[in-house]
Chain A
Amino acid sequence: MTAAPALSVPVTPADNASPAWSLPDRGKVGMMCFIIAESAIFTIVVVAYLFYLGKSLSGPTPRDVLETPIFYTICLLSSSVTIHLAVTRLKRDASLSFLALWLLTIVLGGLFMYGTAQEWRRLIYEHGLTISTNLFGTTYYSLVGLHAFHVTVGLVMLAVVLLLGLTGRVRVAQSARVDVLSMYWHFVDVVWVVVFTVVYVIGR
């Protein structure tokens, strides 16, 4: 082909475009879309959980073995508050309190994962419930496990931001990106509210 020809730009005669042309932030829109897609995945797994409630051909049943994890639920839900506060601190360039709140978020998320690990250990070793025991085991480990997987991924990303923050690379300029990550964390928390309701309230 020949060299690049001159480009004409169609500037239309009646240019009534608003002088302040602004569109939504692509990071936020992208994360919203991702959250919609994830919600659909969780919906299907929740539907499977509800569909198979009480259909196990053998024990143990949820009523026998599940204990409501109130403390760890409070940990996870309050981590939503701390991450929100952390992001507002970052936007005000208060780096130190940002890092402190961010670390607190990771600790709370980590506590939640510890709680899940304890629950699984108890179910497996004391009650002999594994994913292949019965339909309850199948759906319980899939749903709670899918959520725990998302918490783990979130914790890894939070830890990356913490390391970057400790080396002084997370500043006001990065607050929009950190905000996008916090959207994911809020989503993980909201999913837990659903999982909690389905598994520990309705499911028993």
Chain B
Amino acid sequence: MASDVMAMHGAQTDRPTWVETLHAWVTTVDHKRIGLLYILYALLFLVIAGIEALVMRIQLLSAHNDFVSPQVFNQMFTMHGTTMIFFVAMPILFGFGNYLVPLMIGARDMAFPRLNAFSFWLSAVSGFVLYFSFLGGSGLYGAGTAPDVGWWAYAPLTARAFSPGSSSDYWTIAVLVSGFGSVAAAVNLIATIVCMRCPGMTLGRMPLLAWLYLTMSLMVLIGLTPLSAAQLMLLADRYLGAHFFDTQAGGSATLWMHFFWIFGHPEVYILIIPCFAFMSEIIPVFSRKPIFGYPVMVAATVCIAFVSMSVWAHHMFTVGMNSYANTFFMITTMAVGVPTGIKIFNWLGTMWGGRIQFKTPMLFAIAFLFQFLIAGLTGIMMAAAPFDWQLSLSYFVVAHFHYVIVGGILFALFAAFYYWYPKVTGRMLSERLGQLHFWLFVLGFHITFDPMHFAGLLGMPRRIYTYEPGRGWDAINLIVSIGAVIQAVAILVFVVNLILSYWKGARAGKDPWDAWTLEWSVSSPPPAYNFASIPTVASRRPLWDVKHPDDPDSRYE
């Protein structure tokens, strides 16, 4: 990266020493570098949490396998879930937001650059705190005890009696601190989008990505903080002898479930809305058409944000709520599918009649549309409480949310990587390796997660470390494990592509995709100050206006 960093600063001749480079990165307040730090940090944890998933799949490869002990298996699924949500998905999405939002709204940096650095380092420290638990989870008693309470850490599993030592505390503190980092990042994104737009960029002319990040950040403010509050209560329980979740003193384990899922379900939308943002930028460019129904897209997003705040207890149908609560959460959960469906139709409307270019970003985007649709449909199935009573805590649920998170979020992220990598590095990612990555990953994804639905329908519970032979699960588990390995190979291809293309990729130039938003108006990689002079825009597609002065968008909007 050193040579790049130099280019940003202009014509300095002597290369900095590695200490200087490291110092520059550690102390940076530049939104682009912080964005990259977020992304690289998340990729590191993606690999770690991916390895944890592979450990689980090897264990479940066949009946009565003893690759790892039940205790280690519990630690693996806890760490896999916690890491993927809090230390992969959140930081990587904030990384993209950090990098792209100021560039796309014509600003030179975020509203609060130092707060931005603070957010990143909070996230970074909390990730390392979580993983330190492998060494220090039992305090001074021994080594090798990561948290094993599951990523939602239901009470009373986290009570002192059932979770001695410090492993649960590492989990609590890591999640709490990363939550503070996320809230700070969200505050920063909102202030940036509201206060730093370049002249002419009214709310109605903002790129959809900025709109969606604004919505997502507002959700972070009210969606993540309930978890922080609950974690503080849990710490009070564990250290001060409070009784919030202590059933023996009249406390309620169900209250923890509510607090957790009041965070937990909006969190899904916090993660998917930035992915909608990537789709809304990528699909128009590769369909050579402006986005279909811009105002409706904005309205649908805000609508999703509102409705998704009142669906959380569909995670708790099996707890035994009264029928009014069940009905309410059933209806709201089904209702959230409506604005989501509107978005899918709008993307299809954007592609309809367009001259579609099947470049790697677009391939991932199209796969996203299919897979996210299926993920949404199984979601609607489980929104029906009686169906959920049957399949809750089974592999059907695991299949459903991995369809959302891998088939939706991860595919959208890969699309975003292939789309914006040229802007970040100045080099194109290899199209050949990209296609290989795409097809391998689609194959691996479907081999892994399609059969999981059937394992769930056949009654296989989630979070079991092994199973009896002859229940009809053996072949399915073998297939699923093979799929996981194919996905791992695909990720390897992706990482190789990222590294090779950095040095060997074709020069990208400013605007390799003939796109329309402001980030493509500056050099690749962008200079530290982004814009030499602040641009003025008159439409949603400022670069279209520049390229087609005879027929600018501003005439029609």
Q: Which residue of B lies closest to A42 (CB)?
A: B229
Contacts of B216 in A (CB 8 A): none
The answer to whether A23 touches B3, judged by C-beta atoms less than 8 angstroms apart, is: no
The answer to whether B521 touches A9, judged by C-beta atoms less than 8 angstroms apart, is: yes
Interface membership of chain B positions 526-542, coded 1 if the CB is closer than 8 angstroms to chain A and 0 otherwise: 01000111111111001
Whether B61 is near chain A, meaning CB under 8 Å from some CB there, is no
State A2–B115 Cα separation when bound (angstroms): 32
Contacts of B230 in A (CB 8 A): 44
State A21–B196 Cα separation when bound (angstroms): 11
Q: Which residue of A lies closest to B194 (CB)?
A: A29
The answer to whether A37 touches B523, judged by C-beta atoms less than 8 angstroms apart, is: no
Whether B330 is near chain A, meaning CB under 8 Å from some CB there, is no
Whether A142 is near chain B, meaning CB under 8 Å from some CB there, is yes
The answer to whether A14 touches B554, judged by C-beta atoms less than 8 angstroms apart, is: yes
The answer to whether B191 touches A134, judged by C-beta atoms less than 8 angstroms apart, is: no
Whether A1 is near chain B, meaning CB under 8 Å from some CB there, is yes
Whether B88 is near chain A, meaning CB under 8 Å from some CB there, is no
State A7–B519 Cα separation when bound (angstroms): 12
Whether A69 is near chain B, meaning CB under 8 Å from some CB there, is no
A40-B545 contact in complex given A9-B531, A15-B538, A30-B112, C-beta closer than 8 Å: no
The answer to whether A25 touches B195, judged by C-beta atoms less than 8 angstroms apart, is: yes
State A137–B246 Cα separation when bound (angstroms): 13
Whether A17 is near chain B, meaning CB under 8 Å from some CB there, is yes
The answer to whether A14 touches B538, judged by C-beta atoms less than 8 angstroms apart, is: yes
Contacts of A11 in B (CB 8 A): 535-536
Whether B546 is near chain A, meaning CB under 8 Å from some CB there, is yes
A12-B241 contact in complex given A1-B525, A36-B222, C-beta closer than 8 Å: no
Chain B's nearest CB lies how many Å from the CB of A31?
Answer: 9
A135-B250 contact in complex given A21-B199, A29-B190, A30-B187, C-beta closer than 8 Å: yes
Contact of A142 among B199, B236, B249, B531 (CB under 8 A): B236
Whether A45 is near chain B, meaning CB under 8 Å from some CB there, is yes
The answer to whether B226 touches A40, judged by C-beta atoms less than 8 angstroms apart, is: yes
Whether B4 is near chain A, meaning CB under 8 Å from some CB there, is yes
Contacts of A51 in B (CB 8 A): 252, 255
Contact of A10 among B518, B525, B555 (CB under 8 A): B518
Interface-side segment among A52-60, A84-92, A97-105, A110-118: A52-60
Contacts of B10 in A (CB 8 A): 3-4
Contacts of A56 in B (CB 8 A): 250
Whether B111 is near chain A, meaning CB under 8 Å from some CB there, is yes
Within 8 A of B (CB), among A6-50: 7-18, 21, 23-26, 29-30, 33-34, 36-41, 43-45, 48
Q: Which residue of A lies closest to B5 (CB)?
A: A1
The answer to whether B546 touches A12, judged by C-beta atoms less than 8 angstroms apart, is: yes
The answer to whether B533 touches A9, judged by C-beta atoms less than 8 angstroms apart, is: yes
The answer to whether A1 touches B197, judged by C-beta atoms less than 8 angstroms apart, is: no
Whether B320 is near chain A, meaning CB under 8 Å from some CB there, is no
Contacts of B240 in A (CB 8 A): 131-132
Chain B's nearest CB lies how many Å from the CB of A57?
Answer: 5
Whether A175 is near chain B, meaning CB under 8 Å from some CB there, is no
Contacts of A8 in B (CB 8 A): 510, 521, 546
Contacts of A14 in B (CB 8 A): 538, 545, 552, 554-555
The answer to whether A10 touches B543, judged by C-beta atoms less than 8 angstroms apart, is: yes
A10-B233 contact in complex given A33-B190, A142-B242, C-beta closer than 8 Å: no
Q: Which residue of A lies closest to B546 (CB)?
A: A10
The answer to whether B112 touches A131, judged by C-beta atoms less than 8 angstroms apart, is: no
Contacts of A5 in B (CB 8 A): 510, 523
Whether B7 is near chain A, meaning CB under 8 Å from some CB there, is yes
The answer to whether A24 touches B187, judged by C-beta atoms less than 8 angstroms apart, is: no
A16-B199 contact in complex given A10-B537, A55-B250, C-beta closer than 8 Å: no
Chain A's nearest CB lies how many Å from the CB of B281?
Answer: 17
Whether A138 is near chain B, meaning CB under 8 Å from some CB there, is yes
The answer to whether B183 touches A37, judged by C-beta atoms less than 8 angstroms apart, is: yes
Interface membership of chain B positions 240-275, coded 1 if the CB is closer than 8 angstroms to chain A and 0 otherwise: 111110000111100100010010000000000000
Contacts of B144 in A (CB 8 A): none
Contacts of A10 in B (CB 8 A): 518, 521, 535, 537, 542-543, 545-546
Chain A's nearest CB lies how many Å from the CB of B117?
Answer: 15
State A24–B193 Cα separation when bound (angstroms): 10
Q: Which residue of A lies closest to B186 (CB)?
A: A33
The answer to whether A17 touches B200, judged by C-beta atoms less than 8 angstroms apart, is: yes
A15-B536 contact in complex given A1-B7, A48-B255, A55-B250, C-beta closer than 8 Å: yes
The answer to whether B525 touches A7, judged by C-beta atoms less than 8 angstroms apart, is: no
Q: Which residue of B lies closest to A36 (CB)?
A: B221
A26-B195 contact in complex given A3-B10, A131-B240, C-beta closer than 8 Å: yes
Contacts of B549 in A (CB 8 A): 13
Additional 13 contacts, C-beta under 8 A, given A30-B112, A135-B243: A3-B7, A10-B545, A12-B542, A12-B546, A14-B555, A17-B200, A30-B187, A33-B190, A36-B221, A37-B224, A44-B230, A134-B243, A142-B232
Question: What are some 18 contacts across the A-B interface (CB < 8 A)?
Answer: A4-B7, A4-B527, A12-B536, A12-B539, A14-B545, A14-B554, A24-B195, A33-B186, A37-B225, A41-B228, A43-B226, A45-B229, A57-B249, A57-B250, A131-B240, A132-B242, A134-B249, A141-B242
Show the binding face of B for A, using Cβ within 8 Å. Answer: 3-4, 6-8, 10-11, 111-112, 115, 183, 186-188, 190-192, 194-197, 199-200, 217-218, 221-226, 228-230, 232-233, 236, 240-244, 249-252, 255, 259, 262, 426, 510, 518, 521-523, 525, 527, 531-539, 542-543, 545-546, 549, 552, 554-555
Pairs of residues from A and B, 5 with the lowest C-beta to C-beta distance, nearest first: A132-B241, A17-B200, A1-B7, A44-B229, A40-B225
